[in-house]
Amino acid sequence: MLHGFAGKVLHVDLNRGALDIEEPPEHFYRKYWGGSLMGLYYLMQSTPAGADPLGPDNTLTFAISAPTGLAVSGQSRATAVAKSPLTGCVGDSQAGGFWPAELKFAGFDAIVIRGAAPRPVYLWIHDGQAELRDAAHLWGRITGETQAAIHEELGDPKIEVAQIGPAGEKRVRFAAIMNMSNRAHGRTGLGAVMGSKNLKAIAIRGKLRPKAADPAAIARLAKQGPVEMSNNASVATLGELGTANAMLSQNGAGSQPTRNYTSGIFNQAEAISGEHMHDTILKERDTCFACIVRCKRVVATEYKGHKVDPFYGGPEYETLSCFGSYCGIGDLNALAVAHQLCAQYGADTMSAGATLAFAMECFEKGLITVEDTDGIELRFGDADAMLAMLEKMLKRQGFGDVLAEGSARAAEIIGKGAPDFVVAVKGQELPAHMPQTKRSLSVIYATNPFGADHQSSEHDTLYMPKSPPRFLNRLSRLGLTSPQRPKDMNEDKVRFALLTQYSYSMLDSLTLCQFVWGPSWQLYGPDELVELVRAATGWEDVTLEEIQQAGARRLNLMRAFNAREGIGRDRDTLPKRLFEPLKGGRTDGLALDQQEFETALNQYYTLAGWNPATGAPLRETLDALGLEWVNL
């Protein structure tokens, strides 16, 4: 008997308007688990090589896993997978909230979407049933309006809705898929894929609760959570201050990206910190299904006539950084407006803010002028200019249409040396964690198949000789027993990067929150992760080694997809900016070293079992992971 999983995958053919249900065998679930790994399987099987990311041949999958919907913290997440319109590489993005758990309650483990509808539609899934409905009346509406309209139309305010806003409809390259109108599948532009398919939303409701193999063990883990949280200052602070609790520590370390990554010091960091948000505009703390951490921000404020509605949540650390320190803006109220615009229109706040910072540097250097920017003086520190151009980006109006392509494509359009100011990998803008101070992130950012990502491995600061014993003990379960100094970039540091990357890779396949189930500082550790999987599935022989191997399977399947698309080592590069000295504060003059980086990159390929010349997985590596069917 299959435990934990619903046992059904919904296949949607938008070309024909056809809906079919697959019931995969148990061995399929044990190999592909769910989430990202399952989505990659369908992407590789269904999307032909060279497919246009915004064409009907691209396959979009939403997937969850066995623990999803169980009454334990950190399990209500879903992964979306497709070919990315931002990078041309594999696209992969996670989101939390209540929509993932509701998908399980509605009776499905995944939704696989092919083709493109001739006119706007939305998908309505309820208690094992599904239907496509007309969405012409929803097209053009912002997320809050669409959600309200679906609730009214279907007569149930508890329906969970994943959807695109106008940015996805207009195929903004970094458009997001939103659920609850405030939780985002933000990275890699998958909202634009939904828009290209004329799929406005996926509405879900169900009462088919999952059945764990060992409910008593799930109950024990659930009860353990509050005890662990009371003893874990890192998680308790996350709950109290949100991810923005990182702002002051990052800035104190000279590691807060500022003015398009030219500095690690932002002199207005306190004004946009989690502490300041907590004391001023924070209205309440929200949560995901059954999670006790409650890290989601809910804010209420206004800025020059722009009212910020608590309905749209509140800004996270990356949002505050990308619209704030990246752009030299220290007004928390303005940043809350930027967050809300991205939630309403459906856009990734990281790519949006970083692209604006890139444009500000281009303006500062004279590469673009007010004649290009529709009269907007796009200067660092100008919140009004930032918001005005952001709105144009999300609507693809004027110069915003250029920036809606993302910074890398915009740089090619602008020319005049603009590519030198792009801070992106594979076309995806960097998050707000600096490889200059967290050296292992240099190889992670460069090699990560879907572009620079800070949530694809643990960070150096957790694997230092002075790191808390609790963290180091947990990492030792992965075979990591030689903590390194922050400035070290040696084979031990590279091994730390790869092994924790396998862990995070599996978390995105088990669709578990990395803040709750990650391998070091989080609420639960590797041993509890094994216990959770066994309790959910009944697979009593599951080991941590098998979990790590599944993480490696997912990472290698991603690299195989890219290799099939002609993307390899030539795209495993870092932006020029990271090799230029930082300016100001304790990291003044700090830069990555090109030779050190190349050496680390070669060490990474060797440890991963990839061809150092091409960056593609070796045949024997794929075969050892059960991926004999994959052709490069």
Residue 80 one-letter amino acid: A
Residue type for 167, please?
A
Residue 450, SS3? coil
**Is 413 in the same domain as 444?**
no
Which pLDDT value is given to residue 210? 83
Q: What is the pLDDT of residue 52?
A: 98
Whether residue 386 is found in the same domain as residue 480 = no
pLDDT > 90? residue 131: yes
The predicted-structure confidence for 571-595, as pLDDT tens digits, reads as follows 999 999 999 999 999 999 999 999 9
Read off the amino acid at residue 68: T
- 187 shares a domain with 134: yes
For the chain, percent of residues with pLDDT exceeding 90:
99
In the predicted structure, residue 632 carries a pLDDT above the cut 90: no
298 plus 376 within the same structural domain: yes
Confidence (pLDDT) at 215: 97
Q: Are residues 77 and 107 in the same domain?
A: yes
Measured distance CA(296)–CA(307) in Å, rounded: 20
Label residue 169 by pLDDT band (50, 70, 90).
very high
Whether residue 223 is contained in a domain is answered as: no
Residue 282 lies in a domain: yes
| Residue closest to 386 by CA, chosen among 398, 378, 394, 396 | 378
Residues 360 and 478 in one domain: no
Q: Report the distance separating Cα 177 and Cα 185, nearest Å.
A: 5
Mean pLDDT of 88-92: 98
Phi/psi of residue 123, nearest 5 degrees? -100, 130
- Across the range 20-47, mean pLDDT stands at 98
Residue 315 contacts residue 335 (beta carbons within 8 Å): yes
290 and 379 co-located in one domain: yes
Residue 117 pLDDT exceeds 90: yes
Single out the residue in 205, 223, 241 at which a domain terminates: 205
Beta strand 282-286 with 296-299 is antiparallel
**If we measure between CA atoms, which residue out of 501, 601, 623, 549 comes closest to residue 632?**
623
- Domain assignment present for 578: yes
Asked if 278 and 153 sit in the same domain, the reply is: no
Mean pLDDT, residues 596-610 taken together:
98
Are residue 308 and residue 454 in the same domain, yes or no? no
Identify the pLDDT of residue 566.
Answer: 97
Asked whether the predicted pLDDT for residue 370 surpasses 90, the reply is yes
3-state SS assignment for residue 13 = strand
Is the pLDDT assigned to residue 1 strictly greater than 90?
A: no
Q: Are residues 54 and 121 in the same domain?
A: yes
The Cβ-side half-sphere exposure at 365, using a 13 Å CA radius, reads 17
Residue 476 CA to residue 474 CA, distance in Å, equals 5
User: What does the pLDDT average to over 152-173?
Assistant: 98
Per-position DSSP letters for 171-214, written without gaps between them: T-TTB-EEETTTEEE-GGGHHHHHHHTTEEEEEEE-------S-
In a domain, 109, yes or no: yes
pTM above 0.85? yes
Tell me whether residue 115 is in a domain: yes
Domain assignment present for 56: yes
Residue 236's domain comprises: 232-422
Number of domains in the chain: 3
Q: Which three-class secondary structure state does DSSP give residue 130? A: strand
Structural contact between residues 455 and 93, judged by C-beta atoms closer than 8 angstroms: no
- Percent of residues, the chain, with pLDDT higher than 70: 100
Ramachandran region, residue 331 (left: φ > 0; alpha: ψ -120 to 50; beta: rest)? beta
Residue 112 sits at the vertex; the CA angle it makes with 108 and 117, to the nearest 5 degrees, is 120
Question: For residue 486, what pLDDT is reported?
Answer: 86
Is 219 domain-assigned?
Answer: no
Are 459 and 586 in the same domain?
yes
Pairing state between β 160-163 and 177-179: antiparallel
What is the DSSP code string of 56-115?
TT--EEEE--TTTTSSSTT---EEEEEE-TTTSSEEEEEE-SSHHHHHHHTT-SEEEEES
Instruction: Give me the CATH number covering residue 180.
Output: 3.60.9.10
Work out the average pLDDT over 147-163.
98
Whether residue 36 is predicted with pLDDT greater than 90 in this model: the reply is yes
Which of 151, 186, 205 represents a domain boundary (last residue)? 205
Question: What does the pLDDT average to over 219-243?
Answer: 96
Cβ neighbour number for residue 226 with a 10 Å cutoff: 12
Write the CATH number for 579.
1.10.599.10
Rounded to 5 degrees, φ, ψ at 560 are -65, -40
Mean pLDDT, the chain, integer: 97
pLDDT tens by residue, 531-558: 999 999 999 999 999 999 999 999 999 9
- Residues in Cβ contact with 108 at an 8 Å cutoff, skipping those fewer than 6 apart: 6, 8, 9, 10, 125, 128
Question: Is 403 in the same domain as 491?
Answer: no
How much is the pLDDT for 161?
98
d(CA 220, CA 392): 50
- Does the pLDDT at position 385 exceed 90? yes
The residue behind tokens 């920036």 is 403
Q: Assign 404 to helix, strand or coil.
A: coil
Distance CA 90, CA 419 (A): 23
Domain boundary among 361, 395, 422: 422
The answer to whether residues 430 and 424 touch, using CB atoms and an 8 Å cutoff, is: yes
How large is the average pLDDT for residues 138-150?
98
User: Residue 446's pLDDT is what?
Assistant: 98
* Residue 470 DSSP SS3: helix
Q: Tokens 């304790």 sit at which residue?
A: 586
Q: Flag whether 4 is in a domain.
A: no
Q: What are phi and psi of 589, to 5 degrees?
A: 85, -10
